[in-house]
A and B are shown apart, each in its own frame.
Chain A
């Protein structure tokens, strides 16, 4: 009897913790959860360390959480982030795989970032040791991206002729058209 009571109590407790966590999440974003991202969501276990935010990486030299936490939970953080990015379009740097890669980059003697196919790669070094197959880099890039990725596309406002967004552009275009007309 007592055992059953305990069981019921723990279920109730669990449920309330769960709904609390959900409510907090909803409040934080103040937007309805996407149906795909709702459902039994992963709740972060308590960390002994405070979460380090984007702006603090450089200052503290720390990862987003303490090492002990990250060793056990990095995949959960990444999975949570992947879903909110994919379905909700939230592309903040925090917990993003791209940010992990940019920070945990290992360089070879020539100063070039090494790929995950090399066992010295940050992710590979551990995953090879524990023999857990790493799937992320089938699609994702395992080295920091080159800044030139979009450099070749000049940033010119589209449809400048109709959408001149400030008065100097309008003036410039006016002068040009006057010239053409004369």
Chain B
């Protein structure tokens, strides 16, 4: 649900980072927060456990500039990836405009990625969305790990709708902005269709 305010000429888009525990969702938005121009970013709100695992969500508002005279603002959210936080994940997807699936490239996490995509499909459906049509980008994170599975294998297992696929090393910022940009493109193109 995009919120278009004709009075203040603003568009607000909600983008959700999804994926299994420790795949690097929070790292993505932390990197964006550290790099962003101070006038463009708001506060990074992190509801996390003592051990820095996301407990409810991370939230970062970003002012992106204007399109067609409208101020575009992104609201970035991450979900908690740990399996037992499912109720919270479902809540965070409410009213989202686009989803970034952050996959953990490590071979040992293949199954966790697949399960998380299935979980995303279910939770999107319960919020009235369809995983096959919502703006969606696949990020293959942790490409620097020696245990990373080959890109081709990941693609075969995780890519299901010809969505943009971006390789990343989130803690070094590699691929982070490209991922966000690919998502923004899909959302704005979607907006022009509807």
Answer whether A and B are interacting partners: no
